[in-house]
Amino acid sequence: MANETNRQFEKVLSVCRELFSKKLYDYGASWRIMRPESLTDQIFIKAKRIRTLETGAENLVGEGINSELIGIVNYGLISLVQLDLGYADNCDITPDEAMALYDKKAQITLELMKKKNHDYNEAWRGMRTTSYTDLILTKIWRTKQIEELGGETKVSEGVDANYMDMINYAVFGLIKNGLAD
Distance CA 88, CA 121 (A): 41
Q: Does 85 score more than 90 pLDDT?
A: yes
**How many Cβ atoms are within 10 Å of 135's Cβ, its own excluded?**
20
Q: Which residues contact 134 (CB under 8 A, 6 or more apart)?
A: 51
CA-CA distance, 75 to 116, in Å (whole number)?
A: 21
pLDDT, average across residues 124-131: 97
Contacts of 42 (CB under 8 A, 6+ apart): 34, 71, 75
**Residues 6+ away with beta carbon under 8 Å from 154:** none
pLDDT tens, residue by residue, 153-179: 899 889 999 999 999 999 999 999 999
- Over 90: is that where the pLDDT of 22 sits? yes
pLDDT at 41 over 90: yes
Q: How confident is the model at residue 114 (pLDDT cuts 50, 70, 90)?
A: very high
Cβ neighbours of 61 (radius 10 Å): 10
pLDDT of residue 57: 80
For residue 47, the 8-state DSSP code is H
Q: What is the pLDDT of residue 136?
A: 98
Closest C-alpha among 11, 2, 15 to residue 114: 2
Provide mean pLDDT across the span 126-143: 97
- Are the CB atoms for 165 and 57 separated by under 8 Å? no
Is residue 93 a contact partner of residue 32, using CB atoms and an 8 Å limit? yes
Q: What secondary structure does DSSP assign to 77-133, as a single string?
A: HHHHHHHHH---SS--S-HHHHHHHHHHHHHHHHHHHHHHHHHHTTGGGGS-HHHHH
Provide the pLDDT confidence category of residue 58 given band limits of 50, 70 and 90.
confident
pLDDT-based confidence at 62, cuts 50/70/90?
Answer: confident
